[in-house]
Amino acid sequence: MTSSSNASADDRSATVAGESLGREAWRRLRQNRAAMASLVMLGVMTLACVVGPWLLPWGLAEVDWNAFGVPPTLEGNHFLGTDANGRDLLTRTLHGGRISLSVALVATLVSLVIGVLYGAIAGYMGGRVDSLMMRFVDIMYSLPFMFLVILLMVVLGRNILLIYAAIGAVEWLDMARIVRGQTLSLKRREFIEAAHALGVRDSKIVLRHLIPNSVGPVIIYVTLTVPKVILLESFLSFLGLGVQEPLTSWGVLISEGTSNMQGAPWMLIVPAVFLAVTLFCLNFLGDGLRDALDPRTR
């Protein structure tokens, strides 16, 4: 009995040892209950924001003339109440989630592309090229972050697509430094030297070898960038520099809620809860991915 149990344990350890890095990371992530619960919650939140407004009876700007500033109730047609203009708060919150999540994803993708390419090229080239590129990053770091975003939005306009680009254009600095550090540690490895010996072009080495092998820290940082971008968009919208009517976002709804906080606190609480839950889930998921992809914890 003992020998058979030992054999089965050996088989399991051999199976685990033979797993690819992706499967091993997924297995370790599944063992993290907080991360998996956050992943499920994020999926539900995203599905609700995408599909929910189509299933609700009220439109984004549709006014119920008999329900101005109605509090949340289970008996009426407005489950989470209405705003001061008689618009259904649940519908507007879900529409706002569409904007906030899409801004976060697209802006993070923009920063990901710029930062990964910039950092990989700087780390791979080294020498004066690396020094010059990283001095530019240092100069960008020294400039006020919010000033850059506001300046880009004033110059480019307040179009929703330009908001994506403006936020993504200033969020790539940390990503560039992370990828540069990974590239510096990888470019002296044997498989890179073998690629050099085989005459592989520098562009292919960067794109096919260095960047894919830096994906672990990149994925972790992406999960931290998304909530940061959501907060930034919410702050800009709160200041009146972000999403404009007739569109809305969680930041716009929170801004509207603060002006009606005493008479209608649900206008602030509802979008704030949606935003807080999303940010908590993203942070828990980021922690889970960090533990799953960290080779020191294997």
Instruction: Say yes or no to pLDDT of 10 above 70.
Output: no
Any domain includes 195: yes
Any domain includes 197: yes
Tokens 């972790």 belong to residue: 220
pLDDT-above-90 percentage for the chain: 3
Q: Which two tokens stand for residue 16?
A: 């685990």
What CATH number has the domain bearing residue 183? 1.10.3720.10
266: CB partners within 8 A, 6+ apart: 71, 72, 80, 81, 89
Any domain includes 16: no
Q: What is the pLDDT of residues 66-88, one digit of tens each?
A: 877 788 877 778 888 888 888 88
- 273 membership: H or E segment, kind and range: helix 266-293
Domain, as residue range, for 173: 24-55+88-297
**Count of structural domains, the chain:** 1
20: CB partners within 8 A, 6+ apart: none
Q: Which two tokens stand for residue 175?
A: 């990503």
157: confidence class by pLDDT, cuts 50, 70, 90: low
Q: Which two tokens stand for residue 181?
A: 């550090």
Any domain includes 6: no
Is residue 45 a contact partner of residue 51, using CB atoms and an 8 Å limit?
Answer: no
Check residue 44 and give its pLDDT.
Answer: 92
CA 217 to chain centre: 14
Any domain includes 144: yes
Any domain includes 133: yes
Any domain includes 183: yes
